[in-house]
Structure 1
Amino acid sequence: MNRVADLQKENALLRAQLAERDAQISVLNEQLKKLFKQRFGASSEKSSPDQLGLFNEAEDVLAEDVAEAEPEATPVKGHTRTRKPRVSIPDHFPREEIIHDIPESEKVCPHDGSTLKNIGSDDHEQLDIVPATIKVIRHKRLKYACPCCEGHIVTAAKPKQPIEKSIASPGLLAFIAVQ
């Protein structure tokens, strides 16, 4: 019985502490609201919109007439961004293909040892100039894949370029520098 009385006293004490904290939280919330209103609310220098409209009946009637005369909404055409197309070389220039292949030793799958088969190529075109003639050099990097597991794909190494991701070959750059 003594244990029950102790627990009831402790419960009453905890309830009193909880009520005190709730009161303190409500006071702090009110202070916070007041500070937010001072900081972000309407300034005392600004007048209320209700006060401005006390003697403007004639202007209200005029504003209603103007509002009736104007359409309510104006449709606006949507805008979508367009991507700049990559520079393409015209088809009328003669083309020369250079094939870059991987060594025979790399044409074997490391997983099961079967021979890789050609599945295509990654093509990259450059504009080259030979004095008085222009031609396109197409670099073909052959790609190989394992026919059994189809998980191993190998592509030939790309040759070094004077300017990466450029369509200008070393000959064209030299021509431009000299001219």
Structure 2
Amino acid sequence: MNSTLDGRNILVLTSNFGTETDEIRIPLATLREAGAKLTVVAPETGVVTTLERDRERGPEVPVDAAHDTVKAADFDALVLPGGTLNADALRGDETAQFLTRAFAADGKPVAAICHAPWLLVETGLADGRELTSVPTIRTDLINAGGRWVDEEVVVDDSAGFRLITSRTPDDLDAFTTAIIDALS
């Protein structure tokens, strides 16, 4: 096992339904392989029902705790997996908004892929930042004051915390590498 991230605790914030399968499972596996301890939180305990390409049910992922029972202070980074239904649910969730803002306020990395940057729009964290996402939410990010670019991963350190964004499951290698680099 790689020990690059030994001693690092990473929070994965998701809804209980609609998270893109690869966008939660691959970061979990890759970051654990790098030595990190990952905690999956959602509005309810139990499981996350994933979807493959927003259509077909994928495997379930266990939830370690309800999101209202954790604090940003206990973690080194936040990972926000995508999936249209997941991201839409989280952007309207006040606890998810609070947690995301808390990571940014503490100067800790926030990593969001695919549709997950919708939560950055709701929290005001996209404003003035260079970022990427699935192309269908490009206009939302621009309207929120972001500078959208079409790249597999974008790392922006311009506002007191590292913001890592990525487009789609095709970019997961670059996405997870950027998270590892941010915590190494």
TM-score, normalised via structure 2 length: 0.17
Task: Report which structure shows greater RCO (CA 8 Å, sep ≥6).
Answer: 2
TM-score, normalised via structure 1 length: 0.18
Query: 1 or 2, which has the higher strand percentage?
Result: 2
Give the structure with higher Rg (CA): 1
